[in-house]
Structure formats: structure tokens, C-alpha cells
Structure 1
Amino acid sequence: MTFDPQEHLPDALLERIRARAAEIDRDNVFPHEDLAELRAAGYLSILVPVDRGGSGLSLAEASLLQQRLAGAAPATALAVNMHLVWTGVAKVLRERGTDDLAFVQTGSIAGEIFAFGISEAGNDLVLFGSGTDAAPAPDGSYTFTGTKIFTSLAPVWTQLGLHGLDRTSPDAPKIVYAFVPRSEAVETLDDWDTVGMRGTQSRTTRLHGAVAAPDRVVRRVAPGPQPDPLVFAIFSVFEILLASVYTGVARRALDLAVQAAQHRRSAKTGRMYSQDPDIRRRIADMAIAYDALGPQLSALATDVDAQTDHAGRWFSLLAGLKHRATTTAKHVVDQAVLVAGGSSYSTGSELGRLYRDVLAGLFHPSDPESAHAAAASAWLGPLED
């Protein structure tokens, strides 16, 4: 069956989402209407297999849809991304013979919203370490105490996928991955007042003994880099879908720059800016940079779908993809602002909003240092002691 983006994200729905984006950004609120419409359209279960009630899309197809959604409302796309990451992780694991996250797939169909509780202030180990305490109980449950940052979907999530460090079990230390429900033991701060991506409402989350039931403790692994399928699934799906959002931002900025060039006329020459050699070269530079992103995303997402074995190259390939997408998107938006001129400096300008939104890409893992270190190790080998 041929994949049709319109079936999952019709143009009419995208335009309604686009029409709300400026007000959501201005008021610094969560896009509740966007989420409601996307949920009604079945978008939250696009990566859930058909036999469990979802659309059964591939990661490559979901990447294309996230690019489209980000072109309409980057913050909405980035927020939804975090739910899609967990459904994507469940998909990747199941396709490799591990159905540990079946409850994520069935829960998504039942209306659960899954948030991503991995980021912690100062924790540059990310998946390979945690400052959150994971205390085991005799029945197999775990109690989590600590602080998570950048918890997107903060006002609406129902299940938080997170990790913490077990320091007390006989085989400790172990990184514990689990899911906890929203409860009185989970405190969500109202502290999201950022430059851009305001609609994600990625607030700080404080865990005061939040309990993950035994059947929601999905993995215990040693700290540090290691080949557990769950770690691979989280990293691959997160990096690909994140890169998709910023690729969508780049495409929208390019489209807006073209529109500006075709509608602005030079008082000096009397000609449209689209005929100005400097403007043409600037837009050509943007287009050349943008054109490289789609094929890279498609290739790596397809490789994950096809279970291609890149062995030790996977980390550098995925980190490099995220780095290229976010830095390229920033470059494209910077150029688009110059093409559009001073009007883009207005708070009401869509390009001005994209200029602020795209900055968030710099702060998502993998950061530039991690991406370059991974590439260097892949090509030169590890650093000597």
C-alpha cells in the first residue's frame, strides 16, 4: 500500500494547527486543541502495529509526518515527538523479538499519553547514567526520587517513562528503566518560560518516591555504554524523530524565504528580490543545505526499520544525523531572516518564531561535543588511556 501523508495529516488539519501556533507561543500555553485533533485523527498511534489498533507505519513514514507537522507548528511537533518516541521504542523492540513495551502500544490506543523523563540537569551521561535514585522494593517495584528537566507534555501526560540509578541491590549499580503514572508523588513545576518552543511546556518534574509497578520496570542495565536493545531503541528513535522536527522547521523557513523574495521589491532597482543575485545565492545555499537532510533521515530510519547492522557505527551515525539536522536548520532559518528583512524581527512574525524555536535544537542530546567525539572514535578508535 502506498504511503499517503494526507491520510494521517490532512492539509486542512495542518492549517488549523498552523493558525493556532502564534497564539500558543504568545500566551506560553500547551496546545490542547492541537493534541485533541491529532488524537482524534489517530496520530498518536501511527507507530503502533495494526494488530494492536494502530496505523502500523514505519519509522521512515513517521519521520516524514513529523517533518510536515513541524512545518505547521514546531512546538506541537516537538511535544508529540516525545510520546511517539516511546511508541517507536516499543515498535523497534517488538520487531527484534522483545515485547516488553506492549503496554505502551495498547496504552496509546486506550488514550494514554507517554512522556519522556530522561533529561537531568548536569547529566551529560544521558542514557548511560542518572542522578535520580531508583530504590528497589521486595515485590519488584521501584521508587524513584529525583528531578527531571525538559519534560515535554507536562500538563497532559499520564505515564512517564524514566530512568534512575539503583545503588543498593546486590548487583548494583544498575540503571533502571521504568514507567510511573501521574500521582501525588510526581510534582510538575510551572517553570516553562523559554525563548522558543514554548508550546511544548517541557516543565521540570520532581519525583518524591514515585512508584513504578513491577510490570512497568522494563530494564535493569549496567551504567555506561552497552548494547542493550532498549538503549539502542531509545537512542535511534529519539535522534531520528528529533532530527525530523528540525528538518521540518528548515523546510518551512525555506518556503517563507522564497515567499518573501517573490513579494519584496527593491526600491533601488525596481526589481523583485527574487531577481537579486545575492538573494538568489542565499536561497540556493539554504536549499542545498536542506536537500541533504531528507535523504539522510530516510536512509537511517529505513535502516532501523530493516534492522540493518551498522554495528559500532550506529551511535556516530545517529548522533551525526541529529547534529546535522539541528545545525542546518539553524543556518537555514538565519538565512531566511536575512532574506525576509526587518519584518521578521517582529514578535508576530512566523519567521521570528522559527528563529526562536530552532535554538532549542542546540540543547537536545546528542550535543555537538558528543556527536564529534562519537565520530572521532568511529574513525580513529577510542582515546588512549
Structure 2
Amino acid sequence: MAEEHLEATDRDAVFPEQALAQMRRTGLLGLLVPAEHGGCSGTLTDLVDVSMALGRVDMSVGMIFAMHCQQSEAIVRYAASPLREELLAQLAAGDLYLASVTTEPGKGGHLFRSYAPLQESDDDTLMIDRVAPIVTGGAAADGFLITMRSPHATADHHVSLVYAHRHQLRIEGAGEWCPMGMRASHSLPLTLTGSIPARQVIGQHGAFHQIAQSVFGPLAHIGWSAVWLGTAAGALSRVVRLLRDPAGRKRFDLSSQLLMTRLSRVRQRLDTVHALLRRTETLAASDVDLSDASSQLLLNSLKITASEECYRAVDELVDAVGLRHGYMQDSPTRLEKSLRDLRSAALNYSNDRLHLADGQLCLLDPDVRFV
């Protein structure tokens, strides 16, 4: 379904409604929801496998799915009753597509900080007034997980996570979504205002850092990396099929040492990312403390490595097959689109910011321990 509408959603920079409808129908939106609530009881491995498969077809669709699963896992682990049961039933039924509202003007990507105050009202409700410069799929979302400065906070890092259903908010979009790549993600800036019952706090007030370290961060880096790897692997697969096709053999010199070397390097990059992804997946699925310096270093290394190596792999494929099949939009290899999409990977929670954090984490691990 995603591939059928791929050209139109990329050309027009519109949300892939047909792909989302398939996720609803097939139960994918409830992949991580426990079976007792009607979900699939999927594992982290399932999330990685599905994200890779979707990334092979369309990176925007893969990222939409992976980010939704990140939000749903936060509900599974941290939402309290009866909100937890209400939302899990909706997720399992395919009635709840979740969008993440963590970006905020002026904070420069600091996930653990928020300036927008969450205000308490006398009638046991919470008032939301939130501007977000980027909300992936926000125009199509049924519900939102929103970070805000906690009531009675004494510092910007006292952040709460709240759930708001679409009908509880007034949602205003601004501007147009016209990016170089990731065009179908439709990540418009939004202003969200409204009120929600106080029971819709996810976890404890001011304790978002715990959710971020145990769910948001790990599932983001693992899910995103799986999508990026799928995108690059799909590109390599289409190139190899082109080269193996009898018609293709007349256009390419398969005895070329340069071509074979480039294919080898591309495959090496992807195998490296795959090995690091599976190692990190195993770690995150264990009982290890993911806030530990060594674990954080591995998670950040996965994100940085996957974002850089997958992009470089596709860039090298462009050189390998040349102008006609590496640069043109109408090539069956779709390298031009893959390259545009993957260019966003290093910017999606900036690698520069992660390197800065990793440098500080290195000082906390003088024995250089590996997990």
C-alpha cells in the first residue's frame, strides 16, 4: 500500500493516509500492546523487523510507524489505570494513532527541558497551551503525547508527559511542509490548546526524564536506525536487481573492479549497522539499566552510526550506477529519494548534540566498559 502511493505522497508532500489505514486494519498500531488488551504482544525484535520492512518501501512511513510505537510503549509502561486500559484498547483496535509533541521553540532540541507551563485548574483539569515547530503526522493523529513544564516546577527540566485526545484540543497548523526529503511525514508546526483531566498525566509529574531514558530514547534510536537501515538495504537491493537483470547487464560492466568494490563497501556499511542494531536491541530488551553511561554510549553510537553509514551507503550507490540510475527521479532504484530522505537522519536529534553528550559520558567511564 505504501509503495502504491509512494510517488504521490512524496511529490505532494502529503501524509500517507492509505498506509496509515492499513496499519489500523492489520493491527500494526497495536504491535506493542499486550495480548490481554487485544494487542499483538510484539517484542522489540518485532518492532525492528517491521520498521526495517517499512523503511525498505518508504522511509517516511517507517518513521511514522516507529515513532508511534515509541509513544505506545510509554503508555504500556507508564500510564495509570483507567487511562492505560482505555488507550491500550484503542491502540489494539487501530483507533489510536499517536503523535509526539516534544519539540519546542527556544530549547534547541533539549529533550529534558520545557518552557511551556502545564497549568492546574480548580476543577481538576490541566490547561495546555503548547507550540511545537515539528510534529510528525500531527494533522492525522488521533491523540498526542505532549511534554510540558510541570505545575509548580522550579526548573526547566521538571517536565511532565501528558496525553491529550484530538477532541480535547484546538489544533492550529502554520505554514507549509515542503522539505527536501521525508516529505510524506508531514511534520508541520502546530499550536495545541485545550484542557484535559488531571488523570491524563503519563507517569509522575516532573518525571519525564525516567520515561525518556527507559522508553523514548532507546526506542527512538533503535526504531529510527531500523528504518534507516531498511531504506538503505532497499536501495541496495534495487540496485543489485537492476545489475542482475539481463537488460541491465548490457548497460553495466559487471567485471568492473570499481563497481564491485563500491558494492562491497555499501554492503559492509549496512552489515556494520545491522550488527550494531541487533546488539543494541538485545541490550534494550534485557534488564540492564539503560541510564548507565555505557548503555547510553551504545544507544547514541547506534543512532550516530546508522544515520551516517546508511546515508553514505546510498551516496556510494549513486556513484556506482551513475547519472541515469543514481540521480534521476524516474529510476527504479529510487536512489534519489532514498538519498533525500536519509539526509535527514543526522539532523533528527542532531548528531552534534549526541557527540557532545557522549564526550561527557566518556568521562564517566574511565575503565571503558562495554555492555
Where on the TM-score scale, by shorter chain, does this alignment land: which range? 0.7 to 0.9
User: 1:360, CA displacement in angstroms?
Assistant: 1.5
1:193-342 equivalences under 5 Å are: 193-207=178-192, 209-218=193-202, 219-221=204-206, 228-229=210-211, 231-263=213-245, 272-310=252-290, 311-342=292-323
CA deviation map 1:100-145 (0-9, x unaligned): 8554422312411110111224423532102323222234432222
The TM-score, its normalising length taken from structure 2, stands at 0.87
Alignment partners' CA distance in 2, 1:36 and 1:348: 27
What residue in structure 1 maps to residue 340 of structure 2?
356
The structure-2 alpha-carbon separation of the partners of 1:370 and 1:98, relative to structure 1 and needing over 3 Å to count, comes to farther
Q: 2:37·2:85 contact (CA, 8 Å) conserved in 1?
A: no
Identity %: 19
CA deviation map 1:314-349 (0-9, x unaligned): 322212111111111110110111122112322334
1:4-23 equivalences under 5 Å are: 16-23=1-8
User: 1:261, CA displacement in angstroms?
Assistant: 3.5
Alignment partners' CA distance in 2, 1:327 and 1:99: 42
The structure-2 alpha-carbon separation of the partners of 1:145 and 1:289, relative to structure 1 and needing over 3 Å to count, comes to same
What residue in structure 1 maps to residue 107 of structure 2?
123
One of 64, 67, 83 as aligned partner of 2:68:
83
User: 1:186, CA displacement in angstroms?
Assistant: 2.0
User: 1:70, CA displacement in angstroms?
Assistant: 0.7
User: 1:66, CA displacement in angstroms?
Assistant: 0.4
Letter in 2 for 1:63: V
- Greater shift after overlay, 19-28 or 84-93? 84-93
Q: 1:131·1:146 contact (CA, 8 Å) conserved in 2?
A: no
User: 1:171, CA displacement in angstroms?
Assistant: 5.6
Letter in 2 for 1:257: V
The TM-score, its normalising length taken from structure 1, stands at 0.84
Alignment partners' CA distance in 1, 2:289 and 2:161: 25
Alignment partners' CA distance in 2, 1:334 and 1:271: 20
1:378 aligned onto 2:364: no
SS in 2 for 1:156: coil
Alignment partners' CA distance in 2, 1:98 and 1:277: 62
CA deviation map 1:49-77 (0-9, x unaligned): 11111111111221111001110111111
1:107 aligned onto 2:75: no
SS in 1 for 2:138: coil
Q: Could you list the runs of 5+ residues in structure 1 that have no partner in the other structure? A: 1-15
Aligned CA RMSD, in angstroms, stands at: 2.7
Q: Could you list the runs of 5+ residues in structure 2 that have no partner in the other structure? A: 366-371
What residue in structure 2 maps to residue 60 of structure 1?
45
Alignment partners' CA distance in 1, 2:278 and 2:138: 30
What residue in structure 2 maps to residue 9 of structure 1?
none
CA deviation map 1:329-376 (0-9, x unaligned): 1101101111221123223341111111111112211x2222222322
